């Protein structure tokens, strides 16, 4: 790995932080001894199977569960009518019209997407539940179907009568003066239409939960894989008409999530109702086909009427665009996607004049949910498409035009036109590392060599930011009445009776290695080995180690999660030092924590207390401690990053705090006869500030790259005109396999964040860099074949083949007006 390391301004002394220590989680996982939710068993538990709509849009005429109930071993059923009586619709975040949508845990009166749950059956076995679900008779009256956002906008068919419109949210964002920038430009480049396709990260473990209800206390325990319990509870408790204290979320190992396990509240509410109604634990494990059909797609977005202002020297001064986002049948986490993109409004560029006219609509497709790179990835794809289309049309070099327009390292920290602050980075330097890794200087020679074999070779760059630690106050830019702002995460650290260091996290890891990186941070602060630190697996509401926004999402563990761990560890350290000073009768300044002991610096060997002694004194042998000294050796800390308030008039503010850089570069070869794209060289360079564990960081880069390569070349949720999903399993929805992945080269640099507690930035999501660079590389490869424009994010062979056959039609929407 190429590493260009600037000397980071660490707040910790050099220790375990910064080292690639092997993960603590692995020992159980490589033995098959992890505990995933589906591994949890309870006596007398019932298995739940959902009855799902075969139609994309229909009225529910009747539901008859009697035949299912007659089956031996069926414990019970639930339908939408019952849900409508015993729960309230979920809280909606939008203003009108989207705010008027009524979204229940099961379909009430109407189904709005294929696979929407209309009823649920609970039975003694998985097989029986499935059989019984088949016996539920549902009668439907089909309604006209909307699968295209642009059709939906016409409101000829309206999905949600309560809203009276398919528009969920719309608004205009304008910073600077884009019309003036266009008037003063030497060239105006117009792009009629770009389309970011629908896909999802499709975690290998599907969703699910085992839910227990305690009749005595009225409390539910959810053994589950929800990745954001803090917000999940905010949705669920009011719907169930209970206090938030009645919901206990327990997660252990989670088989990937990537944002796709944030919107599980509808299914979980059904499970809660069944557990209460049937008086037994109930378990639901989603089937793969159901996950693809009806759980969590990524946002699909169409960009219309793009106009870009370009100066004669290649400087881009602004752009405007109409963005049309398709959130599927229900705005579950939406309309937050209508603002999250604004964290990276100018991408990595110095554009000061930007206008985005944003509208989100419902269609008869699966609801969306956050998906790795949530909403920023779509917008960054736009900015990267703009740069490469402008470069191609004006004959500019994609490297030079980027370097000319990138925000410069000497401008850091850089305030964007909408008030976000890019905290640190050197984009041009990161690009240079990527160029070196793919031997950019040899591209023309390789192009000729490929041509001699009948292949079209192309090179492309994807330059992106992973914005981390988001300010929930940005929701008020969509709806000023929302009472959300800031962010928080909690952790607790204690020293137990035999000297065990025990850490509990509010975060909900799904493979990010939190147990390991948290242990590294704690070990450095307490002066022990990470092996001595037991970081509890998963999240448990009863640990009292969570906060309102607890979860693992939005690239923020490095900031808020580890910030909380650091804060709690420092409180514990202070007490341990005070305690040792009292016992050893030395001033606190003379005490150091090292090698698992508290000792007098440069003192005699016996002037040392092992952690066990400290733990035992406070927990079990404390009679001699003076009454005015009451150490607990048990500390909870909430990391609450400071954002300040957003300006709802100007639509500005610090929407997020850290900006990790990712520069991807791809070299592809296109087969002109088949349209097949082969990636022949690939590099990803990441700069996330201080890397707590470089190996884990690199692993995240690999994973984000694989998702992007899948999304760029094969992964797409394709619907027919009746709203039937055609790619509902891993046969039709092709994710990269080992044979599909090119060799990946990675590079790294460290520009420590001046605002993050450890100088470390969240980076797990990436910015979809692979999608952007592959689109650019395909366009470059086809430059000698009629110069088509790549206008979709997903380009499987049939689309590339179509561009090769008819380059003109893709070019029809692009125009350059030069003055």
Partner 1 sequence: MAAPAASHGVSVEVNGEQVELEVPARRLLVHFLRDDLGLTGTHVGCDTGNCGACTVHLNGEPVKSCMLLAVQADGARIATVEGLAADGELTALQRSFNEHHALQCGYCTPGMLMSATALLERNPRPSEEEVRVALQGNICRCTGYVNIVEAVVAAGGGA
Residue 741 engages partner 1 in binding (rule: CB under 8 A)? yes
Taking CB under 8 A as the criterion, the residue among 61, 204, 588, 726 binding partner 1 is 204
Q: In the bound complex, what is the minimum distance in angstroms from residue 766's beta carbon to partner 1? A: 11
**Which sign, positive or negative, has the C-alpha torsion 13, 19, 21, 24?**
positive
Residue 25 engages partner 1 in binding (rule: CB under 8 A)? yes
Taking CB under 8 A as the criterion, the residue among 77, 166, 201, 405 binding partner 1 is 201
Q: In the bound complex, what is the minimum distance in angstroms from residue 441's beta carbon to partner 1? A: 25
Residue 26 engages partner 1 in binding (rule: CB under 8 A)? yes
CA distance 271 to 286: 12
Count the site residues for partner 1 by CB under 8 A.
Answer: 59
Residue 730 engages partner 1 in binding (rule: CB under 8 A)? yes
Give whichever of 561 and 596 is closer to partner 1, judged by the CB atom: 561
Taking CB under 8 A as the criterion, the residue among 255, 610, 786, 813 binding partner 1 is 255
Residue 32 engages partner 1 in binding (rule: CB under 8 A)? yes
Taking CB under 8 A as the criterion, the residue among 117, 203, 229, 527 binding partner 1 is 203
Q: In the bound complex, what is the minimum distance in angstroms from residue 385's beta carbon to partner 1? A: 24
Give whichever of 149 and 688 is closer to partner 1, judged by the CB atom: 688
Q: In the bound complex, what is the minimum distance in angstroms from residue 22's beta carbon to partner 1? A: 5
Number of other residues whose CB lies within 10 A of the CB of residue 71: 15
Give whichever of 5 and 125 is closer to partner 1, judged by the CB atom: 125
| Main-chain dihedrals φ then ψ at residue 260, nearest 5 degrees | -75, -5
Q: Is there a cis peptide before residue 413, judged by omega within 30 degrees of 0? A: yes
| Main-chain dihedrals φ then ψ at residue 401, nearest 5 degrees | -65, -30
Residue 538 engages partner 1 in binding (rule: CB under 8 A)? no
Contacts of 183 (CB under 8 A, 6+ apart): none
Give whichever of 188 and 688 is closer to partner 1, judged by the CB atom: 688
Contact indicator for 166, 144 with CB cutoff of 8 Å = no
Residue 726 engages partner 1 in binding (rule: CB under 8 A)? no
Give whichever of 373 and 653 is closer to partner 1, judged by the CB atom: 373
Stretch binding partner 1 (CB under 8 A), from 585-593, 657-665, 739-747, 778-786: 739-747
Burial-class residue 620 by CB neighbours within 10 Å (0-12, 13-18, 19+): exposed
Taking CB under 8 A as the criterion, the residue among 8, 17, 18, 38 binding partner 1 is 38
Residue 72 engages partner 1 in binding (rule: CB under 8 A)? no
What is the Cβ-side half-sphere exposure of residue 143, based on CA atoms within 13 angstroms?
Answer: 22
Residue 679 engages partner 1 in binding (rule: CB under 8 A)? no
Residue 508 engages partner 1 in binding (rule: CB under 8 A)? no
Stretch binding partner 1 (CB under 8 A), from 24-32, 187-195, 348-356, 555-563: 24-32
| Main-chain dihedrals φ then ψ at residue 665, nearest 5 degrees | -135, 135
Residue 669 engages partner 1 in binding (rule: CB under 8 A)? no
Q: What does the per-residue mask of binding to partner 1 show for 151-190, with x meaning CB under 8 A?
A: ----------------------------------------
Residues 365-404 that bind partner 1 (CB under 8 A): none
Task: Write the CA distances from 661 to 290, 381, 560, 601, 691, integer angstroms.
Answer: 35, 15, 19, 42, 13
Q: Is 96 helix (H, G, I), strand (E, B) or coil?
A: coil
Residue 624 engages partner 1 in binding (rule: CB under 8 A)? no
Q: In the bound complex, what is the minimum distance in angstroms from residue 746's beta carbon to partner 1? A: 8
Q: In the bound complex, what is the minimum distance in angstroms from residue 27's beta carbon to partner 1? A: 7
The two three-digit tokens of residue 325, written as one number: 């986002």
Residue 735 engages partner 1 in binding (rule: CB under 8 A)? yes
| Main-chain dihedrals φ then ψ at residue 504, nearest 5 degrees | -120, 140
Taking CB under 8 A as the criterion, the residue among 102, 311, 702, 787 binding partner 1 is 702
Q: In the bound complex, what is the minimum distance in angstroms from residue 33's beta carbon to partner 1? A: 7
Give whichever of 367 and 511 is closer to partner 1, judged by the CB atom: 511
Residues 99-128 that bind partner 1 (CB under 8 A): 125-127
Pairing of strands 282-285, 46-52: parallel
Residue appearing with tokens 């035949």: 67
Task: Write the CA distances from 728 to 44, 107, 369, 383, 445, integer angstroms.
Answer: 32, 21, 17, 30, 42
Give whichever of 193 and 664 is closer to partner 1, judged by the CB atom: 664
CA distance 483 to 288: 36
Contact indicator for 778, 355 with CB cutoff of 8 Å = no
Residue 256 engages partner 1 in binding (rule: CB under 8 A)? yes
List 751's β-bridge partners, or say none: none
**325-345 b/e with 16+ CB inside 10 Å = b?**
bbbbbbbbbbbbbbbbbbbbb
Give whichever of 34 and 813 is closer to partner 1, judged by the CB atom: 34
Residues 453-482 that bind partner 1 (CB under 8 A): none
DSSP for residue 441: G
Q: What does the per-residue mask of binding to partner 1 show for 272-291, with x meaning CB under 8 A?
A: -------------x-xxx--
The DSSP line for 374-425 is TTHHHHHHHHHHHHHHHHHHHT--HHHHHHHHBPPGGG-SEE-TTS-EE---
Residue 731 engages partner 1 in binding (rule: CB under 8 A)? yes
The two three-digit tokens of residue 216, written as one number: 């005595």
What is the Cβ-side half-sphere exposure of residue 612, based on CA atoms within 13 angstroms?
Answer: 2
Stretch binding partner 1 (CB under 8 A), from 187-195, 196-204, 297-305, 459-467: 196-204
Give whichever of 453 and 737 is closer to partner 1, judged by the CB atom: 737
Stretch binding partner 1 (CB under 8 A), from 188-196, 411-419, 652-660, 724-732: 724-732
**210-249 b/e with 16+ CB inside 10 Å = b?**
bbbbeeeeebbbbbbbbbbbbbbbbbbbbbbeeeeebbbb
Give whichever of 203 and 506 is closer to partner 1, judged by the CB atom: 203
Residue 695 engages partner 1 in binding (rule: CB under 8 A)? yes
Q: In the bound complex, what is the minimum distance in angstroms from residue 702's beta carbon to partner 1? A: 4
Q: What does the per-residue mask of binding to partner 1 show for 225-254, with x meaning CB under 8 A?
A: ----------------------------xx
Nearest to 566 by CA among 370, 421, 759, 290: 759
Residue 758 engages partner 1 in binding (rule: CB under 8 A)? no
Residue 718 engages partner 1 in binding (rule: CB under 8 A)? no
Q: Is 263 helix (H, G, I), strand (E, B) or coil?
A: coil
Within 73-218, strands assigned E span 74-79, 110-111, 117-123, 137-142, 167-175, 187-196, 208-214
Contact indicator for 294, 115 with CB cutoff of 8 Å = yes
What is the Cβ-side half-sphere exposure of residue 15, based on CA atoms within 13 angstroms?
Answer: 19
Binding site for partner 1 (CB under 8 A): 20, 22-23, 25-27, 29-36, 38-39, 41, 125-127, 201-206, 253-256, 258, 285, 287-289, 510-513, 695-696, 698-699, 702-703, 705-707, 709, 729-731, 735-739, 741, 744
């Amino acid at each position: 790995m190429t590493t260009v390391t600037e000397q980071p301004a660490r707040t910790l002394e050099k220790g375990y932080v910064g080292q690639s220590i092997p993960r603590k989680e692995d020992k159980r996982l490589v033995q098959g001894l992890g505990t995933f939710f589906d591994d949890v068993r309870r006596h007398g538990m019932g298995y739940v199977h959902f009855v799902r709509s075969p139609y994309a849009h229909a009225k529910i005429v009747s539901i008859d569960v009697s035949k299912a109930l007659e089956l031996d071993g069926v414990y019970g059923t639930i339908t939408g009518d019952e849900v409508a009586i015993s729960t309230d619709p979920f809280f909606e975040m939008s203003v009108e019209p989207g705010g008027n949508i009524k979204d229940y845990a099961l379909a009430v009166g109407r189904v709005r997407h294929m696979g929407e749950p209309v009823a649920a059956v609970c039975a003694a076995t998985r097989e029986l539940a499935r059989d019984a679900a088949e016996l539920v008779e549902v009668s439907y009256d089909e309604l006209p179907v909307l699968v295209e956002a642009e059709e939906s906008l016409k409101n000829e068919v309206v999905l949600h009568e309560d809203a009276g419109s398919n528009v969920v949210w719309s608004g205009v964002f304008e910073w600077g003066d884009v019309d003036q920038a266009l008037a003063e430009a030497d060239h105006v480049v117009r792009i009629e239409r770009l389309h970011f396709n629908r896909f999802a990260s499709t975690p290998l473990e599907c969703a699910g939960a085992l839910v227990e209800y305690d009749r005595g206390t009225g409390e539910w325990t959810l053994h589950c894989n929800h990745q954001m319990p803090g917000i999940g509870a905010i949705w669920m408790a009011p719907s169930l008409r209970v206090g938030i204290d009645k919901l206990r979320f327990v997660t252990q190992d989670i088989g990937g999530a990537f944002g796709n396990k944030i919107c599980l509240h509808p299914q979980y509410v059904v499970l809660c109702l069944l557990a209460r109604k049937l008086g037994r634990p109930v378990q639901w494990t989603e089937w793969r086909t159901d996950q693809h059909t009806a759980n969590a797609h990524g946002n699909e977005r169409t960009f219309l009427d793009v106009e870009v202002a370009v100066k004669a020297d290649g400087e881009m001064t602004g752009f405007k665009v109409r963005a049309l986002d398709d959130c599927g049948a229900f705005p579950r986490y939406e309309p937050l996607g209508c603002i999250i993109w604004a964290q990276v409004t100018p991408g990595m560029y110095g554009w000061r004049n930007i206008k985005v006219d944003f509208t989100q609509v419902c269609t008869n497709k699966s609801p969306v949910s956050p998906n790795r790179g949530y909403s920023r990835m779509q917008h960054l794809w736009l900015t990267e498409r703009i740069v490469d289309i402008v470069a191609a049309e004006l004959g500019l070099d994609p490297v030079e035009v980027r370097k000319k327009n990138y925000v410069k390292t000497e401008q850091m920290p850089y305030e964007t036109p909408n008030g976000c602050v890019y905290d640190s980075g050197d984009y041009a330097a990161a690009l240079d590392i990527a160029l070196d890794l793919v031997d950019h200087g040899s591209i023309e020679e390789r192009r000729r060599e490929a041509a001699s074999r009948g292949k079209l070779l192309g090179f492309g760059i994807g330059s992106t930011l992973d914005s981390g630690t988001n300010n929930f106050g940005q929701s008020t830019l969509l709806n000023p009445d929302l009472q959300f702002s800031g962010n928080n995460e909690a952790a607790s650290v204690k020293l137990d009776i035999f000297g065990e260091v025990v850490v509990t996290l509010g975060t909900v890891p799904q493979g990010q290695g939190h147990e390991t990186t948290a242990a590294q941070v704690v070990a450095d602060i307490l002066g022990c080995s990470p092996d001595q630190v037991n970081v509890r697996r998963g999240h448990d509401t009863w640990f009292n180690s969570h906060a309102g926004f607890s979860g693992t999402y939005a690239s923020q563990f490095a900031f808020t999660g580890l910030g909380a761990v650091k804060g709690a560890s420092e409180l514990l350290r202070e007490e341990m030092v005070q305690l040792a000073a009292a016992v050893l009768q030395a001033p606190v300044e003379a005490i150091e924590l090292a090698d698992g002991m508290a000792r007098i610096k440069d003192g005699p060997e016996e002037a040392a207390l092992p952690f066990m002694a400290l733990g035992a004194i406070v927990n079990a042998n404390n009679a001699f401690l003076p009454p005015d000294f009451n150490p607990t050796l048990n500390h909870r800390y909430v990391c609450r990053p400071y954002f300040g308030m957003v300006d709802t008039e100007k639509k500005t503010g610090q929407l997020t705090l850290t900006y990790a850089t990712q520069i991807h570069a791809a070299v592809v070869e296109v087969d002109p006869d088949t349209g097949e794209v082969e990636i022949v060289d690939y590099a990803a360079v990441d700069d996330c500030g201080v890397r707590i564990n470089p190996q884990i960081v690199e692993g995240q880069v690999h994973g984000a790259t694989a998702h992007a390569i899948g999304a760029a070349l094969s992964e797409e949720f394709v619907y027919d005109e009746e709203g039937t999903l055609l790619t509902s399993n891993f046969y039709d929805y092709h994710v990269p396999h080992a044979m599909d992945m090119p060799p990946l080269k990675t590079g790294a640099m460290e520009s420590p964040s001046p605002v993050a507690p450890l100088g470390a930035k969240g980076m797990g999501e990436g910015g979809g860099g692979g999608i952007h660079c592959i689109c650019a590389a395909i366009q470059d490869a086809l430059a000698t074949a009629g110069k088509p424009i790549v206008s979709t994010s997903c380009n499987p062979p049939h689309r590339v083949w179509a561009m090769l056959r008819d380059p003109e039609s893709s070019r029809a929407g692009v125009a350059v007006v030069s003055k």
